[in-house]
Structure 1
Amino acid sequence: MFALRKGRYIVRLAERAADVEAAQRLRYLAFISNRADGAVAEGDGADADAFDACCHHVLIEERATGRLVCTFRMMDLDNGAAISQSYSAQYYGLEALESYEGRMLEMGRFCIHPECHDPDVLRVAWGALTQYVDTRGIDLLFGCSSFMGTDWAVHADALAMLKHRHLGPKRLLPRVKAPNVFKFAARLRRKPDAKRAMRAMPPLLKTYLMMGGWVSDHAVVDRALGTMHVFTGVEIAAIPPARKRLLRAVAG
């Protein structure tokens, strides 16, 4: 598998149950304790689900203190025939991707500690992911990219930007499956304000888009987490060469 040391941080895979539990506690802190809608957090302080047992969990820790500052999980699929097993398949009809022949990787539950504001953490995370993608020969990276809050109007410029510039190819677009969605590609008629759109775009999604990523034509409203998310895909072969060089420089 992999391990990476970059600057102030160490990246490694979870090896023990305690590592996974630490990731689940950070996810709870990021997704549930700090909900954008202000809802009162409930539960035991761990964000856990059945998919955890099927995934590799990545931990990014401070070298000096050992503090966990970032985590995400990865599900490695041989090809599209297995995509119904993914987390994303709960919310999106992914039949169009079932015939995809290349190796696929679902990235999910990405979060950074709310008290960590170092932009280098995101760069290191993508460096580690790049190392894994190259080592495993991944052809398609996918997952759910979340906006904080469930009011589409707050995200209107960003969603309009996705409609105008970043919709996925029709042959691969997910169909509607979740009961509560906002069909932004059909409903939004506004021309996006580019500056407002990019300010409102979640950092993870912004990075996907910089790599040539594409999104679904609708957003799923997840009231359990107080978010809206779009299905996001990145075909590795389509990443601009300059971007690949930057990512591999971090991964090396």
Structure 2
Amino acid sequence: MSNTAYATEATPTPNHLSVEMVQDATTLQAAQTLRYSVFSEECGAKLENAGTGLDQDIFDLHCEHLIVRDLRSGEVVATTRLLDSQGATEAGGFYSEGEFQLVGLPQLRGRILEIGRTCVHAHYRNGATISVLWAGLAQLMNERHYDYLMGCASVSMADGGVQAQAVMQRLRGRYLCREWLNAIPRLPLPQMDLPANVTAQLPPLLKAYMRLGAKICGEPCWDPQFNVADVFILLRREQLCPRYARHFKAVAPEGR
């Protein structure tokens, strides 16, 4: 892939933000530093190799990494990593398969891209930054003709799981779909009875996936390392929300 920054003209964004694929070790390290800052320092995750100040794992070697850069400072302010089927084969499976038994995954017809480790710098957590990141992701999916986008979206377990249970209570009726994949958590959340008046706001990233047209494919998995409940999401291009279809050009291929 070229080192050209992805165009973002489809979504009005500040001119100082640019999205690009990581092409060198220095930029990858900057993305891993941002991930460490967000996941470890802000959220308290117990990361491997924490003493390095970097969030690294074995999947990084097999992933491509998409970043948003502030051109005024050169700082990496948002990042996500991408794993396709070939990379997953080399890595021994998709990252999500470590948390879920993905029943039906081998039967999916089409090209699959897994997204993960998405985070945004605290000073840039706004619609503009995530729009730039999404525009880069959209262009990549268009160029390579991916049919499915999948991954995990996290809900904090800092309150013992009340928020995670309340979020799932909101999601089940409208967004739960096991038609294409059945994501069975390897470490399910403990069951609890919620008061009738408990409500919860969807975390920003999970809300963004739902707005795109993604579905959840099962109950959440508890991730003790990050102390979060991970919800498995699947987005089929042909079911993309029309509002976003012009960015992702979600036209179903013939016979699929």
One fold, TM greater than 0.5? yes
In structure 1, distance between residues paired with 2:193 and 2:86: 36
Deviations 1:63-87 (A, max 9, x none): 1111111001001226999996110
Inter-CA distance 105–69: structure 2 relative to 1 (3 Å threshold):
same
**Contact 2:38 2:119 (8 Å CA) reproduced:** yes
1:26-37 aligned at under 5 Å gives the runs 26-35=34-43
2:55 to 35, 47, 62: 47
For structure 1, list consecutive stretches of 5 or more residues without a partner in the other structure. none
Corresponding residue for 2:177?
168
Instruction: Note the alpha carbon deviations across 1:127-185, whole angstroms, 9 max, x for none.
Output: 11111111110100000101123522123332111111111224521123x2x31277x
Cα deviation, residue 47, structure 1: 0.6
Confirm whether residue 158 of structure 1 aligns to residue 163 of structure 2.
no
**Deviations 1:23-67, CA, capped at 9 Å, x for gaps:** 11111111111116999x953211100000101011111011111
C-alpha contact (below 8 Å) 1:212/1:238 kept by paired residues: yes
Give the secondary-structure state (helix, strand or coil) at the position aligned to 2:138.
helix
Please list the CA deviations of residues 87-108 of structure 1 after superposition, one character each: whole Å capped at 9, or x if unmatched.
0011111131111120000000
Distance 1:141 1:191, change over 3 A: farther
Q: Distance in 1 between matches of 2:233 and 2:26?
A: 30
Give the aligned partner of residue 252 of structure 2.
none
Task: Give how far 1:242 is off.
Answer: 2.6
The aligned residue for residue 181 of structure 1 is 188
Distance 1:106 1:190, change over 3 A: farther
Counterpart position of 1:136: 144
SS in 2 for 1:94: strand
User: Which whole-Å CA distance do the structure 1 matches of 2:228 and 2:113 have between them?
Assistant: 23
Q: Is the 8 A contact 2:79 2:119 kept in 1?
A: yes
Aligned residue type for 2:176: L
Preserved CA contact (<8 Å) 2:156 2:163: no
Q: Which of 81, 85, 99 lines up with 2:93 in the alignment?
A: 85
TM-score after normalising by structure 2: 0.82
Q: What is the identity percentage for the equivalent residue pairs of Structure 1 and Structure 2?
A: 26
Say how many residue pairs are matched. Answer: 239
**Which runs of no fewer than 5 residues in structure 2 stay unpaired?**
9-14, 250-256
User: Would you say 1:204 and 2:212 are equivalent positions?
Assistant: no
Q: Distance in 1 between matches of 2:45 and 2:142?
A: 38
Query: Retained in 2: the 8 A contact 1:81–1:98?
Result: no
Amino acid at match of 1:205: L
Asked if residue 14 in structure 1 is aligned to residue 28 in structure 2, the reply is no
| Larger CA deviation: 159-168 vs 76-85 | 76-85
* TM norm structure 1: 0.84
Give the 3-state SS of the residue equivalent to 1:68 in structure 2.
strand
> In the aligned structure 2, how far is the partner of 1:38 from the partner of 1:136?
35
**Residue 66, structure 1, aligned to residue 67, structure 2:** no
